[in-house]
């Protein structure tokens, strides 16, 4: 029998919520497990980071959930990465894909922001259209809606 693709987070079989707020605050630097793959890595007494440890396709992975105490214990326990993991998907890849979709800059947007930045250097603030006109006539209609990173 093949091993499962991911280790499910079973609430009944694993002790959860081992750490308390007071214990986390007073703990010296080190690594502290909260149960169900959640770890607090304290770098100093006053700062640390939350880490979600999981197995996916036979490999151990770690995903940072944010700095402690900025990210509360309740937020770390209810992280959206757990739902993605229980659906059988890699939470790190899912997060990277979402960030790529949000940050897609098109050619038309780049041309517009570049024109605004250069406007002060152009004669008559670019009102004659000699700088922008060729781009709006030839470039934007053909590749204006494509993302910058897709152009070679």
How do residues 15-72 score in pLDDT, each as one tens digit? 666 777 788 788 888 888 877 778 888 888 888 888 888 777 778 888 888 887 787 7
- What b/e string do you get for 57-95 counting C-beta neighbours within 10 Å, with b at 16 or more? eeeeeebebeebeeeebeebbebebbebbeeebbbbeee
- Asked if residues 68 and 54 have their Cβ atoms less than 8 Å apart, the reply is no
Lowest-confidence segment of 9-18, 85-94, 120-129 by average pLDDT: 9-18
Instruction: Read off the pLDDT band of 100 (50, 70, 90).
Output: low
Number of residues written out for the chain: 152
pLDDT value at residue 8 = 43
Mean pLDDT of the chain: 77
Model confidence pTM above 0.85? no
Distances (CA, A) of 27 to 10, 32, 34, 84: 27, 9, 13, 30
């Amino acid at each position: 029998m093949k091993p499962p693709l991911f280790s499910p987070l079973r609430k009944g079989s694993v002790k959860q919520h081992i750490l308390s707020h007071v214990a986390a605050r007073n703990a010296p630097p080190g690594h502290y497990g909260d149960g169900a793959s959640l770890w607090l890595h304290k770098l100093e007494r006053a700062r640390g980071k939350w880490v979600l440890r999981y197995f996916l396709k036979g490999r151990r992975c770690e995903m940072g959930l944010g700095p402690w105490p900025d990210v509360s214990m309740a937020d770390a326990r209810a992280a959206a990465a757990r739902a993605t993991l229980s659906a059988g998907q890699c939470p790190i890849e899912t997060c990277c894909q979402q960030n790529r979709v949000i940050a897609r800059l098109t050619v038309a947007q780049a041309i517009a922001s570049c024109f605004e930045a250069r406007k002060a250097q152009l004669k008559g603030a670019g009102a004659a259209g000699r700088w922008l006109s060729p781009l709006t006539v030839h470039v934007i209609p053909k590749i204006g809606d494509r993302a910058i990173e897709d152009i070679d």
